[in-house]
Amino acid sequence: MILPIRAFGDPVLRKTGKEIDENYPDLQQLIDNMFETMYEANGIGLAAPQIGLDLRLFIVDVTPLAEDEDYEDIAEELKDFKKVFINAEILEESGEEWKFNEGCLSIPDVREDVKRKSTILIEYYDENFVKHTETFSDIRARVIQHEYDHIEGTLFTDHLSALKKKLVKGKLTKITQGDVSISYKMRFPK
């Protein structure tokens, strides 16, 4: 089932997600719905708060990037990188900070450069509640950090300089009011 994505300004996007366990009702259905919703919106990541649930759950699928010439050197690693992250905890961020032009399904038509560390060490459970502790780098780390921010109540716009925040303020206000053209289902706060 395709779910409406919550738009900038929705209070759920500012909540810290609650941990869940393997007895969470209809967890696999929720995960399937999240993937379906993300694909419908042409996204590569989606967090539970973006569909109105303040849970520590997010998904990523960067396989479309394997076809992008910008990532040809890591295409092999990207082509099967589809994961579910439950109760994730970033244990360490390391490496050089690098800028990347980020966007978000909850903040359509706004893209800005965000600096993040290049490598992360993260602990999480997969959809079968198997615990993993893994290190990720490159665009995979970037996408995970972006989605992880969502379960912490943080948006990519929070990482912008004061000047950049002022420059996008008008666009963010329009999104909050539903004054945006999108091709996927959204729910607006006003």
Contact (Cβ atoms closer than 8 angstroms) between residue 48 and residue 58? yes
Residue list, annotated binding site for Fe cation = 104, 146, 150
Q: How many other CB atoms are there within 10 angstroms of residue 39's CB atom?
A: 15
Q: How far is CA 123 from CA 2, 3, 88, 138, in A?
A: 28, 27, 6, 18
Q: Active-site residue 92, yes or no?
A: no
Task: Tell me the β-bridge partners of 60.
Answer: 45, 83
Distance CA 123, CA 106 (A): 25
- The phi and psi torsions of 127 (rounded to 5 degrees) equal -65, -15
Which residues make up each annotated binding site? 104, 146, 150
Catalytic-role residue among 36, 89, 112, 147: 147
Can you name the residues that pair with 94 across neighbouring β-strands? 119
CB neighbour burial string for 148-171, b if at least 16 within 10 angstroms, e if fewer:
bbbbbbbbbbebbeeeeeeebeeb
Residue numbers annotated as active site: 147
